[in-house]
């Protein structure tokens, strides 16, 4: 692909190109990874879930939003969408917490009572969970697997809720720490929560709920050691392929490490912090057994796309530091602050990291055809390391260097924009795979080419 040109000609070309821009072109390398698959296996975790067909890797669907309809129908709704999601290129779905919680049929699952009641025991006011029955859950998982779609469980380990009052010898008070689950598995008492004989507290508590103590050997056994414990039952009996760990700021990264090392499966933690260094520190605290949601990327996108300053995309993000451990997203059930969402999806689906689609964005709020197009581009074209080529208030251009690779051009201005950029392609015809531009320019022998983007839109270029 490389072709030498005379130095004098090269100088003239560069002078011409610089004359076509209002600002100096940038070429900022943000990743040194050169593999066509941005997700590489390591000795401590199972990243096979991210190696879907195509050089760009997989795409996750968050298959719920806050306060989905109650009544036990949600699993059936999701099962009816699996075929279409598979056709669109979704490779994994993330479910809400599947076990019975304190508020029974009304709970979103983040107040867990019985980890082994999937909607088949009469407790906390219902038999089914808000989302359905165990039978319906197993049917959903089986259907997803028939389409080679993996299923991730939302695991809440920090706290429990719905226990009975008991005298707590560690606090000298009455506490709601007496758990007698209808499933008959994983009974808990005051000695299994903080404070106890082993440790007074851990990294954090949430909402005043009893804070589960992972330092207690009995708790460790039931969570990840026992063959019939929570992790191994969810994986080997229920069929879950991976885990989204809730509120990991509340306990040490070693907890996730031990879970993954003993249970296996893909893992991503919700470490809610916009500081990329802290996100990477948490990933490292798990001995790199887990990915993390890239909140740093999320907040930079909000500043860039809603604040009309695309130079914010030059900022620090987890995917730039550690792309194989970054799970990128535009919205989720807890936070939905980005207004200019299509630009944000065009960003995460063309850059490194494991992108997540939010159910409501896909099924209700945005143009599904445009999202499907971006998913296809991610899986089939978006590979390799990344270079930021240009950024100002309303223009951003970046290049992916794998095969075949892309150049993405984001434009938030109210007019058409054009820009000369350096590609990885010499003397090749390229086109915009979004259909937003009908140009089909030929790159020069020195790999430079002029591309364009419509007002408040984006284009994504690759070889024909």
Q: How far apart are CA 257 and CA 363, in angstroms?
A: 34
Longest dimension (CA), the chain: 86
Helix ranges (DSSP H) in 112-265: 134-146, 217-220, 230-233, 253-263
Q: Name the phi and psi angles at 407, rounded to 5.
A: -125, 125
Burial 84-118, CB ≥16 within 10 A → b, else e? ebbebbbbbbbbbbbbbbbbbbebbbbbbbbbbbb
Ligand-binding site membership of 424 (annotated) = no
Residue 280 parent element (H or E): helix 276-285
Handedness of CA 383, 388, 390, 394 (dihedral sign): positive
> Is residue 21 helix, strand or coil?
coil
* Catalytically annotated residues: 246, 270
Handedness of CA 334, 214, 199, 292 (dihedral sign): negative
Contact between residue 224 and residue 154 where contact means Cβ atoms under 8 Å apart: no
Q: Is 152 helix (H, G, I), strand (E, B) or coil?
A: strand
Q: For residue 95, what is the DSSP state?
A: P
Omega cis (within 30) before 408: no
**Can you tell me the distance from the alpha carbon of 402 to that of 36, in angstroms, rounded to the nearest whole number?**
5
Binding site: which residues? 158
Annotated binding site for Ca(2+): 158
């Amino acid at each position: 692909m490389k072709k030498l040109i005379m130095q004098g000609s090269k100088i003239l070309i560069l002078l011409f190109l610089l004359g076509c821009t209002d600002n100096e072109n940038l070429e900022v390398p943000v990743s040194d990874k050169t593999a066509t698959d941005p997700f590489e296996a390591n000795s401590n975790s199972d990243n096979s879930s991210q190696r879907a067909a195509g050089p760009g890797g997989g795409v996750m669907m968050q298959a719920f939003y806050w306060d989905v309809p109650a009544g036990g129908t949600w699993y059936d709704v999701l099962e009816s969408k699996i075929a279409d999601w598979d056709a669109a290129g979704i490779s994994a779905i993330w479910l809400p917490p599947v076990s019975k919680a304190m508020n029974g049929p009304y709970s979103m699952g983040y107040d867990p009572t019985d980890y082994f009641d999937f909607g088949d025991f009469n407790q906390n006011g219902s038999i089914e969970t808000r989302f359905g029955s165990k039978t319906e859950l197993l049917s959903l998982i089986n259907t997803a697997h028939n389409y080679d779609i993996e299923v991730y469980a939302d695991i809440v380990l920090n706290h429990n809720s719905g226990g009975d009052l008991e005298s707590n010898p560690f606090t000298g008070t009455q506490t709601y720490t007496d758990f007698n689950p209808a499933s008959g598995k994983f009974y808990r008492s005051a000695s299994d929560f903080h404070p106890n004989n082993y440790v007074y507290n851990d990294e954090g508590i949430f909402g005043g709920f009893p804070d589960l103590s992972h330092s207690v050997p009995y708790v460790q056994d039931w969570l990840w050691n026992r063959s019939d414990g929570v992790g191994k039952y969810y994986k080997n009996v229920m069929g879950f392929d991976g885990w989204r760990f809730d509120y990991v700021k509340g306990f040490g990264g070693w907890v996730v490490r031990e879970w993954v090392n003993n249970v296996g499966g893909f893992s991503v933690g919700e470490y809610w912090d916009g500081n990329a260094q802290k996100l990477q520190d948490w990933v490292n605290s798990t001995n790199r057994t887990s990915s993390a949601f890239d909140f740093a990327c999320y907040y930079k996108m909000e500043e860039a796309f809603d604040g009309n300053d695309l130079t914010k995309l030059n900022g620090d993000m987890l995917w730039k530091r550690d792309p194989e451990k970054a799970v990128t997203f535009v919205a989720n059930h807890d936070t939905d602050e980005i207004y200019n969402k299509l630009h944000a999806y065009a960003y995460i689906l063309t850059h490194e990291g494991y992108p997540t689609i939010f159910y409501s964005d896909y099924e209700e709020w945005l143009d599904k055809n445009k999202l499907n197009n971006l998913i296809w581009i991610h899986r089939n074209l978006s590979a390799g390391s990344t270079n930021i080529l240009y950024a100002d208030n309303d223009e951003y251009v970046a290049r992916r260097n794998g095969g075949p690779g892309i150049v993405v051009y984001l434009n938030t201005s109210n007019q058409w924009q054009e820009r000369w950029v350096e590609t990885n392609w010499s003397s090749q015809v390229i086109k915009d795979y979004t259909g937003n531009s009908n140009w089909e320019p030929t790159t020069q022998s020195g790999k430079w080419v002029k591309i364009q983007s419509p007002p408040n839109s984006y284009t994504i270029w690759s070889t024909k």
